């Protein structure tokens, strides 16, 4: 089981390599693949309803999704809850507009998920370019800068400030 953490990795490490494709079930049982979002900037957010920092991050994720979806940005929440019902109720209660999928141990291993919340930013070519571990107030501002650079097809440096 993953551990929930509240601290945030303030200097996330750059991750190299293409994101491994996967197919998971959404909250209605429909298969959704990462490759369905090809050509978009994607944020994968591994979370759970029982994780307080994950819950605190939801409003920022919704705001980012709403602000940048027209620019080719997608948030994909990957719920680590054991119950689809719990995840469904949470998504409905919080009015989460982005795609939410149920996790699998295979996908967790593919992305090296041990602690949550953890997010991965994937550029338009499908390359994982950033990993953010944990959540702290204000981290959304740093991630937003990175999203804007990726939308503009700009490279990220180690600190995420671009060129």
Burial track 118-143 (b if 16+ CB lie within 10 A, e otherwise): bbbbbbbebebbbbbbbbeeebbebb
Q: Cite the active site residues.
A: 54
**Residue 128 DSSP SS3:** strand
Sign of the four-CA dihedral 124, 42, 143, 61: positive
Sign of the four-CA dihedral 109, 114, 116, 122: negative
Contacts of 109 (CB under 8 A, 6+ apart): none
* Residues 162 and 154 sit within 8 Å (Cβ to Cβ): yes
């Amino acid at each position: 089981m993953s551990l929930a953490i509240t601290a945030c990795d303030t200097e996330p490490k750059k991750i190299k390599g293409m994101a491994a494709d996967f197919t998971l079930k959404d909250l209605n049982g429909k298969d959704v693949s990462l490759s369905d979002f090809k050509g978009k900037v994607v944020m994968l957010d591994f979370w759970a309803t029982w994780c307080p920092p994950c819950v605190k991050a939801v409003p920022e994720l919704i705001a980012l999704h709403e602000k940048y979806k027209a620019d080719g940005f997608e948030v994909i929440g990957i719920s680590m809850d054991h119950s689809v019902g719990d995840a469904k109720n949470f998504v409905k209660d919080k009015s989460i507009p982005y795609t939410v999928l149920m996790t699998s141990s295979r996908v967790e291993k593919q992305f090296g998920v041990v602690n949550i919340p953890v997010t991965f930013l994937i550029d338009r070519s499908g390359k994982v370019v950033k990993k953010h571990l944990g959540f702290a107030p204000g981290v959304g501002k740093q991630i937003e800068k990175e999203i804007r650079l990726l939308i503009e097809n700009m490279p990220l440096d180690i600190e995420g400030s671009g060129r």
